């Protein structure tokens, strides 16, 4: 996932702009994939894609703003750089509110575009790294048995082994064994670290 | 015994005799025959009655004291009022000399005494009828003459009757007024000398000359004529030969002074020019407005190729920066740069062509090409319209004769309206543009959309200036379109499609076969 190769996805209806951008990015040694309309990209989209999207804001059919909404619905974390024309700044502002990383106005200096693309790719790496860590935590959480999970919840709340044993009507020794397995499965030796890990994925666990 | 004794009839008979016995007999003979009978027993009285009543028939005794019958007859014939009466002499003088003398004085007939009642009745009847008819005929002739005179006098055109030599034999009052003379003074003068002076030029070429001499009718406008006072006036005249069978009797010339007409025409022409100038300006303003509305789209259209050029240029630089540059890729990239710069200049060219003031030059045009160009231009608007524009041109469509800039303005206006209507109805149907023949003389262009359509109330106001259904419209688009199309000799209008939406059409006249293409070098004006 996070280690899959980053690609610049160009969604642009104008053939010349699309073609020139593709050549430019290739000459900059960036993997690039182009689409001549928003629907084609949406069809191709998968969670495993990494990189960024260079998206023309005005297109016939589905425009850039609509594509952004559809991707948000799919919880896409691909950074989007909107390419806007003259007089599209209000649209770009809306796009930023919806979570776009940046926008650039045509005609642009290619250095500016490449800088923005590099920044977006870096952001993507960062986001994916974070996401990867979170997913690792989630994977570990998933490996816990229901009993272990229950005991971990109580550990995070700060309950002592004795209290857990009384409330769950099990022996203190059994609690200690479970506790040791939780720490082992979660890959940590410190309760403080466990608390931080669980808090970082709390939203994802709650969403389940 | 001078009273009228029979009032009920039209025909009046005057009986004149100095002998009361004779009068009585005559009276008895003719009474109850339907005549009004008048009686006189001496000459003076007879003349007085005759003048007052203008009898058709007078039975006149020759032998009378004082004025005799001959003298009475002579005086009757000398008086225009009574000259047409039928005088029938009555006399015992049954000799040839008396009869001849009576006829020589204008008598109509002769009855010998002692007369037979039947004879008197028959002769009076005959003469009464003859005189009656004659008088009716004269009255009719007078009526006709009066009518003709009234017409000739009241007509505002001047009328001359000319003989073969061009001498004026008739002139109506209007002719006299126009040439500042009198009808009396005009008659007898030579038309050519009077109105064209002593011409040094070819006499035969003078107006109406060929009509007088060869019988060829003429009709000319803007001929300059001399007046009697030496001043000149512009005239329109029409000359018609007077034929009597095969024989030419000169000509009738009808003419009028067209000074005021020419002035009016001049003023009208100037007003027309002014209107045309303002119409052109309005059309230009309307085009500027359209361009203003399209500014964002136009900027986009230019920015696309510029963006591509920037990208390609960077690619080219990178290719060259390599140790072993890929020359094929470099060439390809440079070609692409060139193509994109053409694309950008094409957008600019279209705008300039559209913005240029119309040369009001009509040329032979292919509507298919013009509409394709318009479509490309309107594509600036299409970007947010899924359906786009669909143009269909029937196979048999002929070229038209029109001003390309103005036709494109109309087409663009209708197409943009249609796109806007389609968009506001959230429809993805294309705007349909069809070109067909309408009869043999016109090409018809229809622009149909699937938009919101028009209410009937709005339909009626469509082409009124300053009427608009758009929030930001000025309401000059369609009125301008109408004046532009009318100036091309076509029509523009609205049809209500069966389904939703709207359909506008305009027609343009087909270019004449083998028409000389007007040399309008649109290329040079853009250089």
The tens digit of pLDDT for each residue in B230-252 reads: 899 999 999 999 888 888 888 99
Whole-number pLDDT of residue B67: 86
Q: Mean pLDDT lowest for which of A121-125, B84-88, B283-287, B399-403?
A: B283-287
Residue that is last in its domain, among B149, B183, B212: B149
Q: How far is A183 from chain B (nearest CA, A)?
A: 54
CATH topology of domain A143-207: Arc Repressor Mutant, subunit A (1.10.10)
Cα–Cα distance between B519 and B399 in angstroms, integer?
16
Which spans in B79-116 are helix H? 96-104
pLDDT of residue B470: 66
Q: Which domain holds residue B71?
A: 12-149
pLDDT of residue B197: 80
pLDDT at B255 over 50: yes
Task: Write the CB contacts of A4 (distance below 8 Å, at least 6 apart in sequence).
Answer: A48, A50
pLDDT in tens, B446-471: 998 888 777 777 777 777 666 666 66
Q: What's the rounded Cα separation, in Å, for the pair A2 and B470?
A: 53
User: Which of A23, A86, A108 has its CB closest to that of B300?
Assistant: A86
- The pairing of beta strand B109-112 with beta strand B247-257: unpaired
Q: Domain containing B74 — which CATH number?
A: 3.40.50.2300
Is the CB of residue A32 less than 8 Å from the CB of residue A26? Answer: yes
Q: Answer positive or negative: Cα dihedral of B352, B355, B359, B360.
A: positive
Nearest to A107 among B303, B318, B319 (CB): B303
A109/B contact by beta carbon, under 8 A: yes
Indicate whether B344 pLDDT > 50.
Answer: yes
Sequence-ordered alpha helix ranges (H) in B322-387: 327-355, 367-382
The predicted-structure confidence for A16-63, as pLDDT tens digits, reads as follows 999 999 999 998 889 999 999 999 999 999 988 999 999 988 887 788
- At B40 the pLDDT is 92
Mean pLDDT within A141-149:
90
Does position B375 have pLDDT exceeding 70, yes or no? yes
Residue B493 pLDDT more than 80?
Answer: yes
Structure confidence at residue B471 (pLDDT): 62
Q: What is the 3-state secondary structure (H, E, C) of A111-164?
A: HHHHHHHHHHHHHHHHHHHHHHHHHHHHHHHHCCCHHHHHHHHHHHCCCCHHHH
Task: Give the contacts of B264 (CB within 8 A, at least 6 positions apart).
Answer: none
Specify the range with the lowest mean pLDDT, choosing from A2-6, B365-369, B486-490. A2-6
CATH code: domain of residue B510 = 3.30.565.10
Question: Quick one: pLDDT band at residue B4, thresholds 50, 70, 90?
Answer: very low
Please report, in angstroms and rounded to a whole number, the separation of the first and last CA atoms in chain B: 114
Name, of B201-205, B426-430, B503-507, the range with top average pLDDT. B503-507
**Are B161 and B217 within one domain?**
yes
Residue limits of CATH 1.10.10.10 in chain A:
143-207
Residue A122 φ then ψ, to 5°? -65, -45
Q: Which residue of A has its CA nearest to B295?
A: A86
**B189 and B140 in one domain?**
no
B37: which strand partners? B13
Q: Percent of chain B, pLDDT > 70?
A: 90
B110 is a domain residue? yes
* Residue B21: closest CA among B108, B115, B128: B115
Tens of pLDDT, residue by residue over A156-165, are 888 888 999 9
Q: Give the domain-ending residue among B105, B126, B149.
A: B149
Check pLDDT > 70 for residue A197: yes
Q: Is B222 left (phi over 0), alpha (psi -120 to 50) or beta?
A: left
Of chain B, the percentage scoring pLDDT greater than 90 comes to 20
Do B424 and B475 share a structural domain?
A: yes
The rounded distance, in Å, linking the Cα atoms of B54 and B134 is 13
Residue A37 corresponds to which tokens in the numbers above? Answer: 């309309």
Shared domain check, B161 and B119: no
Total CB pairs under 8 A between chain A and B = 75
- Residue that the structure tokens 């630089």 belong to: B317
Domain-located, residue B274: no
Give me the pLDDT at residue B237, please: 92
> Which residues of chain B lie closer than 8 angstroms to A60, CB-CB?
382-386, 388
Over residues B48-106, the pLDDT tens digits come to: 999 999 899 999 988 888 888 889 999 999 988 888 889 998 877 667 788 888 888 88
- CATH 3.40.50.2300 occupies which residues in chain A? 7-129
pLDDT of residue A130: 86
- What is the rounded CA–CA span in Å between residue A52 and residue B207? 93
Residues B107 and B20 grouped into a single domain: yes
How far is the alpha carbon of B296 from chain A, nearest alpha carbon, in Å?
A: 6
**In B204-346, beta strands by DSSP E:** 218-226, 232-244, 247-257
The conformation of residue B476, written as its DSSP 8-state character, comes to: -
In a domain, B208, yes or no: yes
Does B230 map to a domain?
Answer: yes
Continuous segment of H or E residues that includes residue B196: helix B191-196
Q: Which residues of B touch A (CB under 8 A)?
A: 296, 299-300, 303-312, 314-315, 318-319, 333, 336, 339-340, 343, 382-386, 388
**Average pLDDT estimate for B114-141:** 87
Contacts of B212 (CB under 8 A, 6+ apart): B162, B163, B164, B165, B166, B239, B241, B248, B250, B251
**pLDDT over threshold 50, residue B378:** yes
Range of weakest confidence among A86-90, A185-189, B169-173: A86-90
User: pLDDT at residue B276 above 90?
Assistant: no
Contact B383 A108 (CB under 8 A): no
Q: Quick check: is B459 in a domain?
A: yes
Q: Which residues contact B325 (CB under 8 A, 6 or more apart)?
A: B319
Q: Is the same domain home to B467 and B519?
A: yes
Give the pLDDT confidence score for residue B234 in this predicted structure.
92
The tokens of B294 are what?
């399209």
- State whether B406 and B376 are in the same domain: yes
Task: Provide mean pLDDT across the span A97-108.
Answer: 81
Q: Are A1 and A132 in contact (CB under 8 A)?
A: yes
User: What is the rounded CA–CA span in Å between residue A165 and residue A159?
Assistant: 10
Using the 8-state DSSP alphabet, how is residue B204 labeled?
G
Residues B170 and B199 in one domain: yes
For B265-281, what is the mean pLDDT?
86
Could you tell me where the beta strands, DSSP code E, fall in B157-299? 158-162, 168-171, 218-226, 232-244, 247-257
Query: Cα-flanking dihedrals φ and ψ of residue B444, to 5°?
Result: -115, 130
Decide if A86 touches B, using CB distance below 8 A.
Answer: yes
**Domain A7-129 CATH class label:** alpha beta
Q: A107 to chain B: which residues are within 8 Å by CB?
A: 303, 306-307, 310
CB contact under 8 A, B315 and A23: yes
pLDDT, tens digit (0-9, with 9 covering 90-100), for B299-318: 778 888 998 999 999 999 98
Residue B359 reports pLDDT greater than 60: no
Average pLDDT over residues B170-192: 90
Listed in sequence order, the residues at least 6 apart from B453 whose beta carbon sits closer than 8 Å to its beta carbon are B421, B496, B497, B500, B501, B502
Q: Are residues B406 and B456 in the same domain?
A: yes
Residue A207 confidence class, pLDDT cut points 50, 70, 90: low
What is the per-residue pLDDT for B384?
A: 54
Cβ-based contacts of B307 with chain A (< 8 Å): 17, 20, 106-108
SS3 B145: helix
Which pLDDT score, from 0 to 100, does residue A3 have?
42
The number of domains in chain B is 3
Place of tokens 């070109």: B435
Q: Do residue A16 and residue B300 have CB atoms under 8 angstroms apart?
A: no
Residue of higher predicted confidence among B475 and B419? B419
Can you tell me the distance from the alpha carbon of B376 to that of B353, in angstroms, rounded to the nearest whole number? Answer: 13
Q: Which residue carries 């009384």 as its tokens?
A: A166
C-alpha closest to that of B398 among B516, B519, B484, B514: B514
Between B524 and A202, the higher pLDDT residue: A202
Which of A19, A54, A85, A114 is most worth mutating to test chain B (most B CB atoms within 10 A of its CB)? A85
pLDDT tier for residue B166 given thresholds of 50, 70 and 90: confident
Which of B257, B284, B304 finishes a domain? B257
Whether B269 is in a domain gets the answer no
Name the pLDDT band for B521 (thresholds 50, 70, 90).
very low
pLDDT for B7 equals 40
Alpha helices in B447-506 (DSSP H): 456-461, 477-487
Backbone dihedral angles phi then psi of residue B154, each to the nearest 5 degrees:
-90, -15
Q: What is the rounded average pLDDT for all residues in chain B?
A: 83
């Amino acid at each position: 996932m996070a280690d899959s190769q980053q690609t610049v996805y160009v969604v642009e209806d104008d053939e010349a702009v699309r073609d020139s951008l593709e050549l430019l990015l290739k000459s900059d040694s960036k993997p690039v994939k182009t689409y001549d309309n928003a629907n084609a990209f949406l069809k191709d989209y998968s969670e495993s894609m990494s990189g960024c999207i260079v998206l023309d804001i005005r297109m016939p059919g589905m425009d850039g703003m609509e594509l952004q909404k559809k991707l948000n619905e799919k919880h896409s974390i691909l950074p989007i750089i909107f390419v806007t024309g003259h007089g599209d700044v209000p649209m770009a502002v809306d796009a930023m509110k919806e979570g776009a990383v940046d926008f650039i106005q045509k005609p642009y200096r290619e250095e500016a575009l490449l800088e923005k693309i590099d920044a977006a790719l870096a952001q993507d790496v960062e986001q994916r790294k974070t996401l990867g860590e979170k997913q690792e935590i989630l994977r570990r959480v998933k490996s816990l048995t229901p009993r272990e999970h229950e005991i971990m919840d109580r550990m995070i709340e700060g309950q002592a082994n004795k209290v857990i044993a009384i409330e769950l009507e099990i022996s203190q020794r059994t609690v200690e064994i479970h506790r040791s397995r939780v720490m082992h499965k979660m890959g940590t030796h410190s309760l403080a670290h466990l608390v931080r890990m669980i808090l970082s994925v709390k939203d994802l666990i709650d969403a389940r | 015994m001078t009273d009228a004794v029979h009032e009920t009839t039209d025909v009046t008979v005057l009986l004149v005799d100095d002998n009361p016995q004779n009068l009585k007999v005559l009276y008895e003979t003719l009474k109850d025959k339907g005549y009004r009978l008048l009686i006189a027993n001496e000459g003076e009285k007879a003349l007085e009655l005759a003048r007052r009543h203008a009898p058709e028939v007078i039975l006149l005794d020759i032998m009378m004291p004082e004025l005799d019958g001959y003298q009475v007859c002579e005086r009757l014939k000398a008086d225009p009022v009574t000259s047409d009466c039928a005088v029938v002499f009555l006399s015992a003088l049954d000799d040839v000399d008396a009869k001849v003398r009576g006829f020589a004085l204008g008598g109509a007939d002769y009855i010998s005494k002692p007369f037979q009642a039947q004879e008197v009745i028959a002769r009076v009847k005959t003469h009464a009828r003859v005189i009656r008819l004659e008088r009716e005929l004269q009255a009719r002739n007078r009526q006709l003459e009066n009518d003709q005179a009234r017409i000739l006098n009241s007509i505002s055109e001047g009328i001359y009757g000319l003989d073969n030599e061009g001498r004026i034999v008739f002139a109506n009052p209007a002719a006299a007024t126009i040439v500042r003379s009198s009808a009396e003074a005009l008659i007898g003068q030579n038309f050519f000398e009077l109105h064209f002076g002593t011409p040094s030029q070819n006499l035969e070429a003078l107006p109406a000359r060929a009509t007088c001499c060869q019988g060829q009718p003429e009709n000319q406008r803007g001929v300059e004529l001399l007046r009697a006072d030496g001043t000149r006036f512009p005239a329109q005249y029409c000359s018609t030969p007077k034929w009597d069978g095969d024989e030419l009797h000169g000509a009738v010339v009808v003419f009028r002074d067209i000074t005021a007409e020419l002035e009016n025409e001049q003023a009208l022409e100037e007003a027309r020019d002014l209107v045309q100038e303002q119409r052109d300006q309005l059309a230009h303003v309307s085009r500027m407005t359209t361009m203003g509305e399209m500014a964002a789209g136009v900027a986009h259209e230019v920015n696309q190729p510029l963006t591509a050029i920037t990208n390609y240029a960077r690619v080219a630089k990178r290719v060259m920066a390599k140790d072993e540059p890929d020359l094929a890729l470099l060439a390809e990239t440079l070609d692409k740069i060139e193509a994109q710069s053409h694309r950008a200049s094409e957008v600019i060219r279209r705008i300039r062509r559209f913005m240029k003031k119309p040369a009001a030059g009509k040329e032979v045009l292919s509507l298919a090409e013009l509409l394709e160009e318009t479509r490309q231009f309107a594509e600036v608007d299409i970007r947010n319209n899924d359906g786009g524009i669909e143009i269909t041109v029937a196979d048999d469509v002929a070229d038209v004769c029109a001003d390309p800039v103005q036709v494109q303005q109309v087409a663009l206006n209708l197409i943009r309206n249609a796109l806007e209507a389609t968009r506001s109805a959230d429809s993805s149907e294309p705007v349909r543009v069809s070109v067909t023949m309408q009869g043999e003389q016109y090409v018809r262009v229809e622009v149909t959309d699937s938009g919101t359509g028009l209410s009937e109330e709005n339909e009626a106001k469509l082409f009124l200036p300053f009427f608009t259904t758009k929030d930001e419209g000025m309401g000059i688009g369609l009125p301008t379109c109408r004046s532009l199309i009318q100036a091309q000799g076509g029509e523009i209008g609205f049809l209500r499609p069966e389904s939703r939406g709207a359909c506008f059409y305009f027609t343009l006249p087909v270019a004449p076969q083998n028409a000389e293409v007007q040399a309008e070098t649109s290329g040079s004006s853009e250089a």
